[in-house]
Chain A
């Protein structure tokens, strides 16, 4: 079983005005000039390098970190590299107010934990970059190191099943064996 709760150092993606970054699109996450790359390990270094103020994110991020962003994270193209680059960096969860529809599926199918937190913008002041946060995928609860808790959305059943299997392929294989 994979862990259903992760703890990690938090990165709050803010825009140039210091507000939670909304509508971060897949070109900002993983620019189209790198689309020819197919090796996941190679993708990490380019993560967010087209997002204003975050061009050096890949150098600063560490394995086990958690990312937080505003509305519609991963809007735009269906490119899966925008999910895989975070897996390459070892990011353990992405928490956002909402996700782009295709991005959400890509993340779920790749086994990258994403947690939707409607209302995050109202609570944004409670979070800061660098603090430790625990994310419980089963309950959707976020817990700051000081003990303060917030209710985000728990994983859906299919999301948990795919996550536990590893990814969509492994999940499909398990389904096949059960039939």
Chain B
């Protein structure tokens, strides 16, 4: 009988011939990703009573959530992490300024097809864009993985989401995934492994595929994955310096659900406050006033996102009273965007350029909202109170929609610009 992607990966890692959904397996993850929460995780690790982590080679630590430190508490946490990294001999440590963990991890060669990656962040699903099994875990569990090098996993059921057809002009991967989440709802793929496939996915850049797998978390998925192909291999060349064995789902594998979408029918989408599955076509919310526009985050802060925004704002000005914040996802993205002239386009138009990192997405610094304000953001979450005041409103859209809205001061269909 054929096997899905996740069944093959977990069977191989567990040293078994085959596994079935619901089965509990114990595997050794290839990578353990942690970020600013490494301070707390390291203190949990110390409570276990061990001196050394099981294998410092699996640790990837990226400071991204509140960088540079916004106050003494955050600064002290960063200090604890730097000391832990030095003491444990962890080489894959990326300090303030390198970027967001979900961008830096693959850029530095820590994701590859067939890898098992776990991380103490819910958007660890992102790395499925490289054909890896990649899932979020909690802090206690991250400490346990540091201690043992192992983790128990329940083999998930699988969904196959087929996206056929060609995407229309000014429609981005973000619009496609918002449309799907609106259809399947926030728990539509709960605990499941979601395989994204179809003509539209094959035609997508690796960056666009990362948007799909990043937001798989918002439909409850355990992991999201895109089958590796020439695009993947080209992206990884020069980054991953060892051989890897790709995992491809069998054509006769068994899926809990197979769902097909036609990308050509999808228009720009917006998630309205306060849930990600509260999705409407942009035309339905067009005209809603905004105070702030945010382009960046682990969802949409890559070069093609900045390019789409730059193309729209080039030669124009951000509307009076609107704060346009731009955060490239990593140093590499920032350097490329400088070279391509996108940074100049955006800043000339009135954008405020912030350092690579998570920025205001999680409401800790660099652009929190006052009561009654509204932000349109390229992020993946619009939960009540996520970006400052609990009385503020967050709308989610593509970089093109956010850029168009920043120019007009109201939510705007990017196809009109």
A residues within 8 Å of B by Cβ? 22-23, 25, 27-28, 31-33, 35-36, 38, 50, 71-72, 75-80, 83, 98-102, 104-106, 109-110, 156-158, 167-169, 172, 176
Contact = CB atoms under 8 A, between A and B. Distances in A.
Given A27-B383, A32-B363, A50-B390, A110 B140 contact: yes
24 contacts: A23-B187, A25-B383, A27-B383, A31-B385, A31-B390, A32-B363, A32-B364, A38-B40, A71-B187, A72-B220, A76-B122, A78-B136, A78-B138, A98-B187, A100-B187, A101-B222, A104-B191, A109-B141, A158-B152, A168-B140, A168-B141, A169-B48, A169-B144, A172-B147
Given A25-B383, A77-B121, A100-B187, 16 more contacts: A28-B383, A32-B385, A35-B364, A72-B186, A72-B220, A78-B120, A78-B121, A78-B122, A101-B191, A101-B221, A102-B136, A102-B137, A106-B137, A109-B141, A168-B141, A172-B148
Nearest 8 pairs between A and B by C-beta?
A: A72-B187, A106-B138, A27-B383, A80-B138, A78-B122, A78-B136, A80-B139, A101-B191
Given A27-B383, A169-B47, A102 B139 contact: no
B138 A32 contact: no
Contacts of B385: 27, 31-33, 50
B174 interface: no
A99 B221 CA distance: 12
A36 B143 CA distance: 18
Interface of B: 24, 40, 43, 47-48, 73-74, 120-122, 136-141, 143-144, 147-148, 152, 154, 186-187, 190-191, 220-222, 275, 277, 362-364, 381, 383-386, 390
Given A32-B385, A50-B390, A109-B141, A100 B220 contact: yes
B362 to A, nearest CB: 6
B43 A169 contact: no
Contacts of A22: 187
Contact of A23 (B137, B139, B275): B275
A70 B194 CA distance: 23
B363 A33 contact: yes
Contacts of A27: 381, 383-386
B322 to A, nearest CB: 24
A87 to B, nearest CB: 11
B140 A167 contact: yes
Given A28-B384, A32-B386, A36-B73, A101 B190 contact: yes
Contacts of B120: 78
Given A101-B220, A102-B122, A75 B187 contact: yes
A104 B138 CA distance: 10
Contact of B140 (A75, A77, A80, A98): A80
Contacts of B40: 38
B345 to A, nearest CB: 32
Contacts of B147: 172
B137 A168 contact: no
A172 B141 contact: no
A100 B190 contact: yes
Nearest to A173: B48
